[in-house]
Every structure is written in C-alpha cells, then in structure tokens.
C-alpha cells in the first residue's frame, strides 16, 4: 500500500489532511519549530549521477560538537520528492534531545515506480540497494560538511520501504553504523547480529513477510528488540500520527537510542 496520496486541489489540502492515508509534513510538530533549525540542501553522487536531497535538523547554537548522528529514511512516497520532510514529529524531537538528524530523500520524480507485482525481495531489491548507497554517500558528505559531529556511533531509522533500506545497509556496508531502528519494514530481513544493535517497532495493522523478523530465540541470542504497537497503523508511523501515537513512538525510539550495548 502506498504511503502517500497527492491531493488534486491545493486549496482543499487542509480539508483532506483529516482523512489522508499517507504521511504529511509538519502537522502538530510546529510548536518545536522555534527551537530546531532546518537546513535543506542537495548532494550529488558523481559516480552514480544521482542527486540526493537532504534535510538536517539541529538545535541552534549546538555547533554540532560531539552530537550523535541519526539518519532517517522515509517510507514509499510514489516519487513525490518531499517524503523526507514528513517525519518532523521525530526529526525535530530528536534534534531537541541533542541528536544531529539528517533525513534523506530517496526517490526522485524521474525514478521508476516500485514494482507492485513479483517477489518483493527480488523486484524491490534494486531500490533498497540504491537507498543503502544513498545513505553511505550522505554519511561521507556530512563528514565533510559537519566535521564536529560524532560519526563513531551512527543510528539509522527507516519507515516501511525506508526501513527495508535501513535493514539492508549494515548487511551491505558492515561496520559503519551502531544501531538500526526500523518502523514496520515488511520485506527486507532484519540482520541477525549484536552489532549493530537492531530494534523494530511494528504496526498494529500490517504483518511482515515470512523471515523478516527474527524468531524469539534469535531475539534472545542477539539482543534484538521487537516491539508491537497496539494502536499505531503502518501509515501513521510518520507525521500522520496523532498525539498519542507520536508520543509512544518517540518514547520507544529515544529509549533505543539511549540504550547501551547488551
């Protein structure tokens, strides 16, 4: 199911938000805008001829010194071009908590759409590979642009299709990230490992494919934490969430970020 639906009439946007099934930017997160600065820019991967929009959230005056880097990857947005801005309930919150947060736009309007037929792990793998490559490139660009940030303990957070990219990244590029947190990724198998630490919040209305989530035995063996949310649908794991849903997700994610190695 696609996470984003574009309204036909711009003038009707305010009315449509109440019944919108996808994610929308900012929403109730506007009360923190005064304390969090947003810097949007593009980086260009010459090797792949790929333009990558990036949004950085930080607290003014922090100077980014020794801040832990958190990278957010959005859910599938049908190449909307602005899906990376639809998680401000989380990005602004984490910035206020002292993290240096970067949100990556993985889809461009010129990209082909994700296949809806065939075996997802096969037909969608190139899209996840591209996302993992985007993440790696952005990390290296951020090192140059913000050298004071702590790049030794990087956390990746991804929703849905972005969660599949997040799950793939440490398997494709081992030894770079410290933790991964997925928000209801459904297709790409979570890594079975103690490092990086693996966490996943699961929605109340959609199930993962067979083999995506570790068994109870694997969770115990590797210290993986899987949390089922009783009242947070898949499409609400973004700015579309209501106040209670936002607070629950924020609470778990902050706990995961602050947890020490097992």
How confident is the model over 186-236, as pLDDT tens digits?
999 999 999 999 999 999 999 999 999 999 999 999 999 999 999 999 999
Closest CA to 86 of 5, 189, 185, 200: 5
pLDDT at 221: 98
Residue that is written with structure tokens 């020794």 in the block: 66
C-alpha span between 86 and 158 (Å, rounded): 12
What is the DSSP track for 1-36? --S----S-GGGHHHHGGG--S--SSGGGGGGGGG-
Is 3 domain-assigned? no
Instruction: Give residues with Cβ within 8 angstroms of 183, minimum separation 6.
Output: 75, 157, 158, 159, 160, 163, 200, 201, 237, 249
Q: Which domain holds residue 84?
A: 10-258
Q: Is residue 2 part of a domain?
A: no
At 249, which helix (H) or strand (E)? Answer: helix 243-258
Give the pLDDT of residue 35. 87
Q: By the 8 A CB rule, do 181 and 201 touch?
A: yes
Per the listing, tokens 């759409």 go with 113
Q: Note whether 141 and 43 are within 8 A (CB).
A: yes
- Quick check: is 41 in a domain? yes
Instruction: Tell me how many domains the chain contains.
Output: 1
Domain contains 1? no
71 Cβ contact partners less than 8 Å away, ≥ 6 residues apart:
101, 102, 103, 104, 135, 138, 139, 154, 155, 156, 157
What is the pLDDT, as a whole number, of residue 24? 54
Neighbours of 5 (CB within 10 A): 17
Quote the pLDDT of residue 65.
74
Q: What is the pLDDT of residue 31?
A: 42
Structure tokens at 224: 């993986």
Question: Does 123 reside within a domain?
Answer: yes
Looking at residue 202, which CATH number applies to its domain? 3.40.50.1820
Residue 52 lies in a domain: yes
- Residue 5 domain flag: no
Would you state the pLDDT for residue 262? 57
Strand ordering across the sheet containing 100-104: 37-45, 50-58, 100-104, 68-73, 150-159, 179-183, 197-202, 225-228
> Is 59 inside any structural domain?
yes
For the chain, residues with pLDDT lower than 70 are 1-22, 24-34, 262
Tell me which H or E stretch contains 53.
strand 50-58
Query: What pairing do the DSSP bridges indicate for beta strands 100-104 and 68-73?
Result: parallel
């Amino acid at each position: 199911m696609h996470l984003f639906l574009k309204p036909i009439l711009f003038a009707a946007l305010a009315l449509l938000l109440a019944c919108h099934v996808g994610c929308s930017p900012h929403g109730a997160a506007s009360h923190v805008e005064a304390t969090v600065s947003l810097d949007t820019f593009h980086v260009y991967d010459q090797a792949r001829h790929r333009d990558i929009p990036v949004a950085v959230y930080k607290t003014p005056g922090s100077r980014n010194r020794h801040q832990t880097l958190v990278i957010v990857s959005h859910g599938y947005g049908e190449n909307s071009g602005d899906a990376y801005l639809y998680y401000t309930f989380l990005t602004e919150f984490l910035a206020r908590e002292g993290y240096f947060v970067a949100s990556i736009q993985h889809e461009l309007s010129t990209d082909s759409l994700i296949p809806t037929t065939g075996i997802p792990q096969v037909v969608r793998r190139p899209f996840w590979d591209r996302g993992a490559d985007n993440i790696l490139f952005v990390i290296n660009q951020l090192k140059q642009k913000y050298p004071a940030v702590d790049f030794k303990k990087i956390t990746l957070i991804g929703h849905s299709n972005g969660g599949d990219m997040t799950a793939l990244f440490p398997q494709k590029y081992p030894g770079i990230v410290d933790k991964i947190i997925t928000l209801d990724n459904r297709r790409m198998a979570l890594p079975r490992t103690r490092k990086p630490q693996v966490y996943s919040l699961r929605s109340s209305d959609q199930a993962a494919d067979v083999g995506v989530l570790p068994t109870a035995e694997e969770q115990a063996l590797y210290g993986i934490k899987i949390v089922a949310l009783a009242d947070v649908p898949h499409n609400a794991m973004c700015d579309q969430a209501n106040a209670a849903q936002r607070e629950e997700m924020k609470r778990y994610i902050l706990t995961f970020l602050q947890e020490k190695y097992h």
